[in-house]
Amino acid sequence: MKNKPKKIGVGLVGFGTVGQGVAALLSDAESPATAKTGVHLRLLRICDVDLERPREVAVDSALLTSRLEDILEDEDISIGIELIGGVDGALAVVEKLLRAGKDVVTANKALLASHGAELLKLAESVGKQIRFEASCAGGIPLIGALEEGLVANRIDGLKGIVNGTCNYILTSMTEKQESFSRALSEAQEAGYAEADPTLDINGMDSAHKLAILAMLAFGTQVSLDNIYVEGIDRIEQTDLAFAAELGYVMKLLAIGEVHPEGISLRVHPTFLPRGSLLAQVGGVYNAVSVYGHATGETLYYGMGAGRMPTASAVMADVIALARGPDSCRCRSLSEWTGRKLPIVSIEDIESRYYIRVTALDEPGVMAKVSGVLGSKQISLSAILQHESEPAKPVPVIIMTHLAREGSVREALAEISELDVVSEHPVCIRVAEESV
């Protein structure tokens, strides 16, 4: 005899961009998820503080409530989805959902990066799960890959583009010469940016995601303080143009690497060789490359933000919970709360560098600048200067071979003190191999 479809009640907290996408998928009478899994999900309640704002997705008004208790107290709801964003309010919602005996799905990377360990402990103590596929890289099933598809691998490193808004901005500035502010407005209008887009452009959203990915990949607790973060807020068109001239494309990368001494975690703008795969990831797309000891490199690509891609990831977790207890998940997650690998400081990282020095166009300038670099054991691989009007400061571009970050920082501090240099040099890391 055929099994009867399993009916699972779901409560949604947060009816914004992604919440509406989830409501649309949950209300789809032709749901591919139901057809594939036999699980029949029922959206029983949608809670939001603002029920007046017009929405693009229509739902039965009887589902709407501004009282979280309507979800907490509904015994037919076994899964709560948190999509309100932010940290403090969301923390309270997730704790209440778990304590009310609901499994939780969240897309909230800021919450997980700052309170992940304590929430996982709480979930374990009440015998519930918290799942978060949508927290990293939008619609790409990256967390599932780390936890399941790559489970046989020791992960030696990962790197990628994990913020769709920044990638959209950098792509528009590079390909259409758009201004930073116009590109950001477009990303906001498309629903890619965070409620506070500062978190996107200052790199913190990428850092939140890197904290989660690194915890899963390397089986270690990570605090945000362990991550070196530089955003794209100070990027200038000049450097994008020089990048193009030198055969590079700028991307904001999140990088986690295993070293003999520990792990290094960083988010920063990076010049990638134009022909590399990551360099060709444009617009709101994300891509993350993961190095497993058995697989070698694997690459995950897709829409990193936006209503439906993110809703798809939320639904993957809801379906996984509805299908039954997950044997794989809790074990790897409980390591978050235990092991803490040493962190390798950014000063000890080696990279190639692009350095833009704004200097007077007069005899002896290059000798002074390259003298400082040489004194720090930094070897130059290329130098570029265009002819300019006499007596005006001119940009001089210096590309280095591999150098230690600490030495580069010391050199830049000395160069900025030179009387022939008019401003602090711009410095951007250059990825040496093509991924």
Q: Which residue ranges make up the site for ligand HSE (CB under 6 A)?
A: 138, 163-165, 192-194, 200, 205, 304-305
Helix (H) or strand (E) holding 351: strand 350-359
> What value does the CA radius of gyration of the chain take, rounded to a whole number of Å?
24
**Measured at CB, which residue is nearest to ligand HSE?**
165
3-state secondary structure (DSSP) of residue 336: helix
Least distance (Å) between residue 216 CB and ligand HSE: 16
CA distance 230 to 249: 17
Q: For ligand HSE, which is the closer residue by CB, 242 or 285?
A: 285
Q: Which two tokens stand for residue 179?
A: 């201004």
CB of 12 to ligand HSE, least distance (A): 18
Contact 237, 173 (CB under 8 A): yes
Question: For residues 205 and 317, which CB has a smaller minimum distance to ligand HSE in the complex?
Answer: 205
Nearer to ligand HSE, 100 or 143 (CB): 143
- 14 vs 304 by CB, closer to ligand HSE: 304
Amino acid occupying residue 155: I
Q: State how far the Cα of 287 lies from the Cα of 246, in Å rounded to an integer.
A: 23
d(CA 199, CA 86): 11
Sign (positive or negative) of CA dihedral 324, 92, 135, 228: negative
Collect all residues with Cβ–Cβ distance below 8 Å to 21 and sequence separation of at least 6: 57, 307, 308, 310, 311, 312, 314
Do 260 and 222 contact (CB within 8 A), yes or no? Answer: no
Residue 137 Cβ vs ligand HSE, minimum distance, rounded to whole Å: 8
User: Which of 19, 164 has the CB closer to ligand HSE?
Assistant: 164
CB of 346 to ligand HSE, least distance (A): 23
- Quote the least distance from Cβ 156 to ligand HSE, whole Å: 25
CB of 42 to ligand HSE, least distance (A): 27
Active site residue 209: yes
Neighbours of 181 (CB within 10 A): 9
- Size (the chain), residues: 435
Nearer to ligand HSE, 193 or 287 (CB): 193
CB 290 within 8 A of CB 300: yes
Q: Taking the CB of residue 258, how many other CB atoms lie within 10 A of it? A: 20
Nearer to ligand HSE, 192 or 291 (CB): 192
Least CB distance to ligand HSE at residue 265 (A): 18
Residue 73 buriedness (CB in 10 A; 0-12 / 13-18 / 19+) = exposed
What six digits make up the tokens of 271?
């010049």
Tell me which of 209, 251, 376, 392 is the catalytic residue.
209
- What's the sign of the alpha-carbon dihedral 158, 195, 307, 186? negative
Residues with a known catalytic role? 209
